[in-house]
Amino acid sequence: MKITQAFKMALRSITAKKIRAVLTMLGIIIGVASVVIMVSVVKGSNQKMLEYFERLGNNKVTVLIHGRDRPGLKELIYEYCDRRKDVFSGITPDVDLSLPISYGARNTTKMETGGPSVYLGNTSYSICNNFKIGKGRDLSYLDSKLYRNVVVLGAKTASYLFDQVNPVGKEVHIGGQPFLVIGVYQAKDPDSDYSMDNMAVVPETATRILRSQERITSFTAKAKNRAAVKQAITLLSGYLEGQVGKDNCSVQSDEQFIDDAKQQNATMSLVLGGIAGISLLVGGIGIMNIMLVTVSERTREIGIRKAIGAPRSSILLQFLVESAVVCGLGGVLGILMGLIGTLIAGKLILKLLLFPDPVLAAGAFLFSVVLGIAFGMYPAIMASGLTPVAALRTD
């Protein structure tokens, strides 16, 4: 028997009992769809996380100082990074004062998504955190040197306080103190409810009027490029350990957080894929069961074919192809269902237009076909092993 004939016979057998065929495929359809949706959502989550870190800023190094305060340490850190301009593009405080901002009758305490983060910063803040000025100007050296009460607003904060009015030159109150708006950053996270544009930056010297006791013990440094990140961590770690001791400082990069998140997502993919794989296994058992039923229904047909000289390999091929076709069709339907499910899940969960990976879809289809062959092997061997006399005696 040629393989094309086996395919034709398999399709005739399936179309003859459509409802039974669909119910048989159901386990494969659900299993394949589950694998496609789960893995695609995890991959989309990973993609969204990487985009988020990219918006936050590339090549960032976070510095934390613990223990007792050491006067002048901040200036020493700045001087060290300034001396190593071959490695560092800049360094800025990373302190959130979490204070309300008001303008006229509008107050950020009434924002539905929560009030803005008010950061202490310097001339390197926008460089280190990947912000660009949209209106007005950025913080300058003299703003900190002369203790000026100035502020640069994030796009979301400016939009809430001023709507369509240009905020530059207007006066707002931060924690009850007056500050002049000198600039507005361009939006870099406009579609998020809890946006990173919901922020404002004041000179680091503003602690004297906003929070006189606020210690600056957290910094964000910017490495020149990705290749310099490890060197930046090594240099800053060594320098700070010499200043405050190994137990009183920590230096990390976003790359470490990204790697940790990727590892968690990979583990989640394996777990979810394993759960979906159980559904495929159950579907495979269903395929074996229905193929055994098919063999028993077609025993006389097998006997007649063997009596007129059909070789054992021909019978084996016929039932293996039929099992593979059933699973293959189930795989195709599962991929289509997975595509629809991925689009829905992407919109509802991640707010992304998400599509399954073509390689994943092809792999799921091939796996379903292999599953059909594996679970169809026993019924096919059983059918090909029947003797013509025994088969023809069957009612």
Beta bridge partners of 150: 180
At 55-65, the pLDDT tens digits run 666 788 999 99
Q: In Å, how far from its chain's centre is CA 195? A: 17
Query: Quick one: pLDDT band at residue 388, thresholds 50, 70, 90?
Result: low
For residue 1, pLDDT over 60 is answered with no
Distance CA(178)–CA(296), nearest Å, equals: 88
Query: Quick one: pLDDT band at residue 293, thresholds 50, 70, 90?
Result: confident
At 186-203, the pLDDT tens digits run 998 777 766 788 999 999
At 89-141, the pLDDT tens digits run 999 999 988 899 999 889 998 888 788 999 999 999 999 988 999 999 999 99
Q: How far is CA 164 from CA 139, 156, 161, 184, 317, in A?
A: 23, 12, 9, 13, 73
Predicted pLDDT of residue 395:
53
For residue 169, pLDDT over 80 is answered with yes
CB atoms within 10 A of CB 51: 12
pTM, full prediction: 0.65
3-state secondary structure 78-131: HHHHHHCCCCEEEEEECEECCCCEEECCEEHHHCCCCCCEEEEECCCHHHHCCC
Biggest alpha carbon–alpha carbon distance for the chain? 106
Q: How many percent of the chain have pLDDT more than 90?
A: 31
Distance CA(265)–CA(171), nearest Å, equals: 45
The residue extents of the domains of the chain are 3-52+260-393, 60-224
